Amino acid sequence: MRSWSAPKVPKLPGSGLPLRLYDTATREVRETEPSGKARMYVCGITPYDATHLGHANTYLAFDLVNRAWRDAGHDVHYTQNTTDVDDPLLERAQAIGVDWRELADREIELFRTDMEALRILPPRDYVAVTEVIDDIAEVIVRLMERGATYRIGDDVYFSVAAAPKFGAISGYDEETMRRLFAERGGDPGRAGKRNPLDWLLWRGERPGEPSWESPFGRGRPGWHVECTAIALRHLGPGFDVSGGGSDLIFPHHEMGACEGHVATGEWPFARAYVHAGMVAYEGEKMSKSRGNLVFVSELRREADPMAIRLALLARHYRSDWEWTPDRLTEAEARLARWRAAVARPAGPDGAALLARVRERIADDLDAPGALALIDAWAAADGDDASAPGLVRDMVDALLGVAL
Ligand code: ZN
């Protein structure tokens, strides 16, 4: 599927530092050590509604990863999916009386426009689930051959009992797992399951629902195995970063990692599991069901996208925080100060600032720390005539903000 267009990334003098990231699975900040290509998979949207600030916050975090790796000299292979067939999409399409494909196309196009406006570097592979049904079926066949599946009627389930690493990503206890599984699209109470946490790999055809042929009957794929199949196809096992919002830790990333492990025999499926925090609004996590979404496309009508980007960068990617309109006002003021500062004929030492900003970004993407350093540079006077140009390029290349 078509991705979106890439902004030009200036090449900075010297080289960035090795990037260290917090890995949810091992619960520590560790150096990423890409061998050759740096491979990253970030879970994409289910295109039934417009991009909200929570999405933007997540994709921005992984955009910083992408930019830091490039600055350190890596060739980055970035893959993202879009879940263009799933229950929420079909339910929404039916509720508003629109064909599900039409709804998906419309929302994917809006997502592309939002990502472009925010200057998020596009994935190399932007993959719709409906494009790769055969690849997904192939992974399910491999899981069947390894005895990891069973059927309930026309549906195919993955058996937790076949996954020796189950729990390794989230570290959650059984009770937490069951609660989150029920909250996030799972079906712990379904009759006929061997274990409440067994999950759906393939949903047999239902009247009125889209379906595809497969070696195990007509139907459509479950959520987790989609990402597993796409990551295996484009990146292979043992890729460097599997990313998404922290609400994907369980069940999505836990179950995907087990599928990858059982299908390939290789562990870990991803070398680091990296998660962005949740953005709240009016006291609660932004979500469709609570109706408290702030859409990027609406915000863009009144604000410079670079100010939106700066407002998000002002909070560390792993923290949970609340959006308030004054965050945008603060970001607009910062953007104006930085633009004035790089328009000066000279400023304080630019190379020294670049070295310190690189340190902050390499330290688990400390964007707020980087912003503070640039604020201090912009507020001080100096006689380095090359500094304003260098700082403009640095802010563009590392933070993605065009001044
Ligand atoms: Zn995913």
260-271 tens-digit pLDDT = 999 999 999 999
pLDDT value at residue 151 = 98
pLDDT (tens digit per residue) in 104-163 = 999 999 999 999 999 999 999 999 999 999 999 999 999 999 999 999 999 999 999 999
Q: What angle (nearest 5°) sits at the alpha carbon of residue 122, between those of residues 69 and 21?
A: 35
| Centroid of ligand 1 to alpha carbon of 121 (angstroms) | 19
Give the CATH number of domain 21-285.
3.40.50.620
224 CA distance to ligand 1 middle (Å) = 6
Confidence of residue 318 (pLDDT cuts 50, 70, 90): very high
| 348 prior amide bond cis, ω within 30 | no
Question: What pLDDT does 288 receive?
Answer: 76
307: three-class secondary structure by DSSP: helix
Average pLDDT (247-260) is 98
What pLDDT is attached to residue 285? 83
- 289 — pLDDT class (breaks 50, 70, 90): confident
Cα separation, 148 vs 82, in Å, equals 26
Q: Ligand 1 centroid to 46 CA: how many Å?
A: 10
Q: What percent of the chain has pLDDT over 90?
A: 95
Q: What is the 42 CA–ligand 1 centroid distance (Å)?
A: 7
Topology at the third CATH level for domain 324-399: Four Helix Bundle (Hemerythrin (Met), subunit A) (1.20.120)
pTM listed for this prediction:
0.97
Summarised one tens digit per residue, pLDDT across range 196-232 is: 999 999 999 999 999 999 999 999 999 999 999 999 9
Alpha helical stretches, state H, 81-121: 87-96, 100-117
Question: Which parts of 129-252 are beta strand (E)?
Answer: 149-152, 155-158, 199-204, 219-221, 239-245
Q: What is the pLDDT of residues 12-64, one digit of tens each?
A: 999 999 999 999 999 999 999 998 899 999 999 999 988 899 999 999 999 99
- Looking at residue 36, its pLDDT comes to 81
Distance 80 CA to ligand 1 centre (A): 8
Report pLDDT for 52. Answer: 92
Ligand 1 mean position, distance from CA 234 (Å): 14
Per-residue pLDDT, 287: 79
Domain ranges of the chain: 21-285, 324-399
Say how many Å lie between the CA of residue 66 and the centre of ligand 1: 18
Expressed in angstroms and rounded, the spacing between residue 401 Cα and the centre of ligand 1 is: 27
Residue 385 CA to residue 394 CA, distance in Å, equals: 15
The answer, yes or no, to whether residue 382 has pLDDT greater than 90, is yes
What percent of the chain is predicted at pLDDT more than 70?
A: 100
Write the CB contacts of 268 (distance below 8 Å, at least 6 apart in sequence).
25, 238, 257, 261
When the pLDDT of each residue in the chain is averaged and rounded to a whole number, the result is 97
Say how many Å lie between the CA of residue 128 and the centre of ligand 1.
12
CA 164–ligand 1 middle distance (angstroms): 21
Ligand 1 centroid from CA 335, angstroms = 34
Q: How far is the CA of 374 from the centre of ligand 1 (A)?
A: 35
Lookup: tokens for 111: 């997502």
